[in-house]
Structure 1
Amino acid sequence: MKYLKTIFILLITLLFSAEIKVFAYSDTIEMRKKNLNDELNTILINIPKEKVVEVFNHNDNLIYLTKEDLDLMAKIVYAESKGEPYEGKVAVASVILNRVLTPGFPNSVKEVVFQPNAFSCVNNGEINVLPTEECYDAVYDAIEGNDPTNEALFFYNPDIATCAWMQDVEKSDSKLIGQHLFFKTSY
C-alpha cells in the first residue's frame, strides 16, 4: 500500500509538470505569433499599428490600409469612374488592391496610385477631388472582398482611350463594366 501511494504521487507530479510544459509551450507559440505579427507590421509593412484603419485579406495576403490609403483610393474611384455604375466604382478600387497584391507592381496603395502612368487622373491632376460617400462605399466593398473584375489588373474606356498599349495588348479574363473594360494580361 505504501508503494501505491508513492507511485500515485509520482504520477500526479509527472502529469502536473507535463501540463505546465504544455501551457508554457502554448504561451511561447502565442508570444512568437504576436512578435511575428508585430515585426511584419512594423518592418515589412512599415505602418505603425495606430495608423492602420482597415486590413484587406485575400488568400492570406494582407494589406494594411491607412486613412490616407482609403482617401487615395476614393479619389481614384471618383476621378476614374464618375458617371459609371456602382459596380464600376467597386471594380476600380479592386484593381488597386489587386495590383498591391501582385508581384511586379508596387506593394502599397500609395505606390500603386502614383506609379508613373498608372492612372490618367494622376497624370492630368484630376485626382485632386473631393470623393463622394459612394466612392468610399465602393472602396469598403472592395476591401470586404467584392471584386467584380475577376482580379483584373488593368482597365480603360475603349471608346476614349488614347493609350495604344491598352488597345493593343493581349487581354485575358476581360469584363466590361459600364464604359470600362477590366482585364489581365500575360505581359
Structure 2
Amino acid sequence: MKYLKAIPILFLTFLFSAEIPVLAYSTISTAFNTNSTISTDVSRELDNNLINMPEENVVEVFNHNENLIYLTEDDLNLMAKIVYAESKGEPFEGKVAVASVILNRVLSPGFPDSVREVILQPNAFSCVINGEISVVPTEECYNAVYEAIKGNDPTNEALFFYNPSIATCSWMQGVEKADSKSIGQHLFFKTSY
C-alpha cells in the first residue's frame, strides 16, 4: 500500500520531464479527456509554453518567462547568418542584440512563431533576398546566437532595429519608438502602438 503513494509522484515526474514534452502533452490530453475543463486548461497552458516544437532534432531550447522555443541546427545556422549579415562590424553586444530580436519576434504574437518564418518573413531583414541568405557566419556570430539563447538580451526585448545613418526604410525612421536603445550603429526598439 505504501508504494501506491509513489505512483502519482513518478507519473508527474515522468509527465513533466523536460526531455519528453510531446509525450507529456499527449499523455495529459489523454489522461484528462474525461474532464473537458481540466483538459482545455492544461492544453492551453502547454500550447502557450510550447512554441516552435519542430519535427527535427532539437539542439537548443530558449526559455523566456516559461515560453519555450525549441531550436534546431537549421535555426541556429539561420540566426548566425542574419547576425553576420546584419551586424558585421558591430560590437559583440550588437550581434547578441540582433539574435535577441529574432527570438523576441518568435515570442511576440505579432510575428510568426518559428525562427525560420521570422527570418524569411517578407521585408523583415534586408539581407534576405528571395528567401535566401548566402553568407558564411563567423564563430563570433554563433557565439552571439548562443549568448542570446542563454537569455542575455541587451535590447530591452526589442522587436526592431536599424542603422539610422544609412536606413532607406521610411517606416523605421518615422515610427514612434518605445524602449529604444543604441548599440553600436544600430537603434533597437519596440513600437509604441
TM-score, L = length of structure 2? 0.80
Instruction: Tell me the secondary structure at the aligned position of residue 155 of structure 2.
Output: coil
2:45 counterpart of 1:38: no
Task: Tell me which residue corresponds to 1:70.
Answer: 76
Partners of 1:83 and 1:164 in 2: CA distance: 24
Q: After the TM superposition, which parts of structure 1 deviate over 3 Å for at least 4 consecutive aligned residues?
A: 39-46, 123-126
2:167 counterpart of 1:161: yes
Task: Tell me which residue corresponds to 2:146.
Answer: 140
CA contact (8 A) 2:87 2:94 kept: yes
CA contact (8 A) 1:158 1:167 kept: yes
Partners of 2:16 and 2:153 in 1: CA distance: 30
Partners of 1:168 and 1:177 in 2: CA distance: 19
Larger Rg: 1
Instruction: Tell me the secondary structure at the aligned position of residue 156 of structure 2.
Output: coil
Partners of 2:25 and 2:89 in 1: CA distance: 37
Which deviates more, 34-43 or 103-112? 34-43
Instruction: Tell me the secondary structure at the aligned position of residue 123 of structure 1.
Output: coil
Amino acid aligned to 1:151 = E
Query: What RMSD in Å do the two structures reach over aligned CA positions?
Result: 2.3
Task: Tell me which residue corresponds to 1:181.
Answer: 187
CA contact (8 A) 1:79 1:129 kept: yes
Unpaired stretches in structure 2, ≥5 consecutive residues: 27-46
Matches within 5 A, 1:96-175: 96-123=102-129, 127-175=133-181
2:6 counterpart of 1:23: yes
Greater share of residues in helix: 1
TM-score, L = length of structure 1? 0.83
Partners of 1:116 and 1:39 in 2: CA distance: 35
Task: Tell me which residue corresponds to 1:47.
Answer: 54
CA contact (8 A) 1:53 1:66 kept: yes
CA contact (8 A) 1:41 1:47 kept: no
TM-superposed CA distance for 1:186, in Å, is: 2.5
Which deviates more, 30-39 or 105-114? 30-39
Aligned length: 169
